[in-house]
């Protein structure tokens, strides 16, 4: 059975790993990734398309000139995308987050295993927790980079706006504001760092204790050791 100290520290790491898992589920499920205002001009008037969307779905509203509003409509992001580049980056972001979700799940399993037992395989101990937590954090960071690249570089909002109205002509400008579904990914990165920190302190304390136990033998007189 593991010591009380090991159980408490790995149990704390388990809680942070589970929290990371929950946060990633929220990120994938909610459509509040970005809010965009995309402006177009057409014959006799200007049109503003207001978009709020995530990786899977979103809503759009159309405002004409002095505030005349067309009813809000919902759309599926995958169905509204026609550009291969935008679609590929959107799919890549989803895949990366799913892999991060699996990594956080494995990390939760490893920390739970160490909280209730002493695995005999090295990779099932702190090394495994380091690996899966680090991988999860890196994958989330990649997702945080891919999505803005798709929005800013590939004109994702402009492409989705085209599907909200068929009478748009000249694009005037766009304004983007990233929502909580995007920014809470930072929370999951901090939770991964917290898990790594907890396990590091446990591993360091264990190593220091091991060295303390070996020191009396190292400092003993040679004749005593020979005896």
* Predicted confidence (pLDDT) per residue in 183-216, tens digit: 999 999 999 999 999 888 887 766 556 666 655 5
In a domain, 147, yes or no: yes
Alpha-carbon distance 175 to 184, whole Å?
A: 21
Say how many domains are in the chain: 1
Report if residue 211 sits inside a domain: no
Question: What is the model's pLDDT at position 66?
Answer: 58
Residue 130 lies in a domain: yes
The answer to whether position 136 is within a domain reads: yes
d(CA 21, CA 107): 10
Read off φ and ψ for residue 223, nearest 5 degrees.
Answer: -65, -35
Q: Is residue 63 part of a domain?
A: no
For 23-65, write each residue's pLDDT tens digit. 999 999 998 899 998 888 877 778 888 899 999 999 988 887 7
Would 191 be classed as within a structural domain?
yes
Q: Please report which helix (H) or strand (E) contains residue 68, including its range.
A: strand 68-76
In a domain, 190, yes or no: yes
- Of 74, 79, 81, 43, the closest CA to residue 60 belongs to 74
pLDDT at residue 222 greater than cutoff 70? no
Residue 75 within any structural domain of the chain: no
Residue 133, pLDDT score: 92
The answer, yes or no, to whether residue 119 has pLDDT greater than 80, is: no
Res 226: pLDDT: 45
How do residues 125-177 score in pLDDT, each as one tens digit?
888 888 999 999 999 999 999 999 999 988 898 888 887 776 666 888 889 99
- The answer to whether the beta carbons of residues 35 and 29 sit under 8 Å apart is no
Residue 219 has pLDDT above 60, yes or no: no
Give the tens place of pLDDT for each residue, 70-104.
667 888 988 888 888 889 999 999 999 999 999 99
Question: Residue 94 sits in which domain range?
Answer: 4-32+81-168+180-206
């Amino acid at each position: 059975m593991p010591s009380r100290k090991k159980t408490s520290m790995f149990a704390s790491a388990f809680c942070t790993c589970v929290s990371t898992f929950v946060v990633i589920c929220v990120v994938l499920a909610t459509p509040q990734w970005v809010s965009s205002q995309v402006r177009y001009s057409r014959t006799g008037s200007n049109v503003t398309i207001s978009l709020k969307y995530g990786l899977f779905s979103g809503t759009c509203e159309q405002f004409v000139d002095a505030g005349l509003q067309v009813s809000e409509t919902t759309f599926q992001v995958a169905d509204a995308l026609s550009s291969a580049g935008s679609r590929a980056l959107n799919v890549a972001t989803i895949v990366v987050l799913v892999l991060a979700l699996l990594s956080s799940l494995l990390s939760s399993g490893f920390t739970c295993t160490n909280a209730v037992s002493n695995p005999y395989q090295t990779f099932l101990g702190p090394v495994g927790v380091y690996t899966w937590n680090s991988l999860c954090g890196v994958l989330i960071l990649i997702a945080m980079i891919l999505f803005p690249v798709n929005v800013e570089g590939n004109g994702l909002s402009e492409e989705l706006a085209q599907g909200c109205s068929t009478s748009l002509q000249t694009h005037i400008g766009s304004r983007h504001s990233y929502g909580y579904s995007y920014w809470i990914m930072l929370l999951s990165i901090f939770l991964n760092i917290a898990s790594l920190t907890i396990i590091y302190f446990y591993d360091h304390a264990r190593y220091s204790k091991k060295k303390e136990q070996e020191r009396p033998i190292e400092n003993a007189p040679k004749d005593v050791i020979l005896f």
